[in-house]
């Protein structure tokens, strides 16, 4: 990496937690310069504007989340076990998961009507995650782990909805027991696919 690429990477890595915890609207230029130790000119010399930094930060946070989850799922011996690993992963977010929780949830809620480019990033992330789960479910159907009549796409959407809903309710109430309860429902949903 050349100096400009290293500076861009530093900006992204240092601001990603800010955008994931404070959101787009809540993250100021002062926050970004404080986190990076760079001047306003350095930040905007590498990115056109705050939105460009936020988009790069979302990509970084989402990649971090997906790398963590996929590594955990990949250790499992079966497709069913891979889906069950989601419950354990999201019940207690592991090291390596982005600070501030799920970037998809955080970004989708904030960017819904106010930031089309961030909304598009969140939509693409959702579509990618859904497809990843559809692939696991379809492989489970082919391997005889799940019933043939299982609707892979609807099941994937349901699992994502359970995960994201659990995170939202737990954060809103400050009570992890809600997340634990929903993850039990996720596990039951996976068992019911057989």
Q: Nearest to residue 7, comparing CAs of 53, 63, 66, 72? A: 53
Residue 60 lies in a domain: yes
| pLDDT score recorded for residue 111 | 84
Residue 26 lies in a domain: no
Q: 84-97, pLDDT tens digit by residue?
A: 999 989 988 888 89
**Residue 22 has which token pair?**
């404070």
Greater pLDDT, 28 or 111:
28
The mean pLDDT value of the chain amounts to: 95
Lowest mean pLDDT: which of 108-112, 114-118, 151-155? 108-112
Our count of domains for the chain comes to 1
Residue 148 lies in a domain: yes
Residue 165 CA: distances (Å) to CA of 12, 147, 159: 27, 26, 10
Q: 120-176, pLDDT tens digit by residue?
A: 999 999 999 999 999 999 999 999 999 999 999 999 999 999 999 999 998 889 888
**What is the secondary structure of the chain as a DSSP string?**
--HHHHHHHHHHHHHHHHHHHHHHHH--HHHHHHHHT--HHHHHHHSSSHHHHHHHHHHHHHHHHHHHHHHHHHTSSSHHHHHHHHHHHHHSPPTTSPTTS-HHHHHHHHHTTT-HHHHHHHHHHHHHHHHHHHHHHHHHHHTTSS-TT--HHHHHHHHHHHHHHHHHHHHHHT-HHHHHHHHHHHHHHHHTT-
Q: How many angstroms separate the CA atoms of 180 and 110, rounded?
A: 25
Q: 174-183, pLDDT tens digit by residue?
A: 888 888 999 9
Residue 42 lies in a domain: no
Residue 19 lies in a domain: no
Greater pLDDT, 113 or 60:
60
Residue 47 lies in a domain: no
Q: How many angstroms separate the CA atoms of 117 and 119, rounded?
A: 5
Residue 14 lies in a domain: no
Q: 41-64, pLDDT tens digit by residue?
A: 999 999 999 999 999 999 999 999
Residue 101 lies in a domain: yes
| pLDDT score recorded for residue 138 | 98
- Using the structure block, give the residue that is written with the tokens 């790069």: 56
Residue 190 clears pLDDT 80, i.e. is over it: yes
Give the CATH number, domain containing residue 174: 1.10.357.10
Q: Please give the average per-residue pLDDT across 24-35, as a whole number.
A: 96
Q: Nearest to residue 65, comparing CAs of 104, 26, 91? A: 104
Owning domain of residue 59 = 54-191
pTM over 0.75: yes
């Amino acid at each position: 990496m050349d100096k400009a690429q290293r500076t861009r990477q530093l900006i992204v890595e240092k601001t990603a937690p800010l955008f994931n915890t404070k959101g787009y609207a809540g993250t100021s230029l002062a926050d970004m310069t404080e986190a990076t130790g760079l001047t306003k000119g350095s930040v905007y010399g590498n990115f056109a504007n705050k939105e460009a930094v936020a988009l790069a930060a979302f990509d970084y946070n989402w990649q971090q989340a997906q790398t963590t989850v996929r590594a955990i799922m990949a250790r499992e011996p079966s497709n069913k076990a891979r889906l069950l690993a989601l419950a354990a992963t999201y019940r207690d977010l592991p090291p390596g998961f982005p600070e501030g929780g799920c970037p998809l949830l955080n970004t989708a809620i904030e960017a819904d009507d106010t930031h089309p480019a961030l909304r598009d990033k969140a939509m693409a992330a959702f579509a990618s995650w859904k497809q990843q789960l559809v692939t696991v479910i379809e492989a489970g159907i082919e391997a005889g782990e799940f019933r043939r009549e299982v609707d892979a796409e609807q099941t994937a959407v349901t699992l994502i909805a359970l995960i994201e809903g659990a995170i939202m309710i737990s954060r809103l109430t400050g009570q992890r027991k809600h997340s634990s309860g929903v993850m039990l429902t996720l596990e039951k949903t996976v068992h019911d696919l057989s």
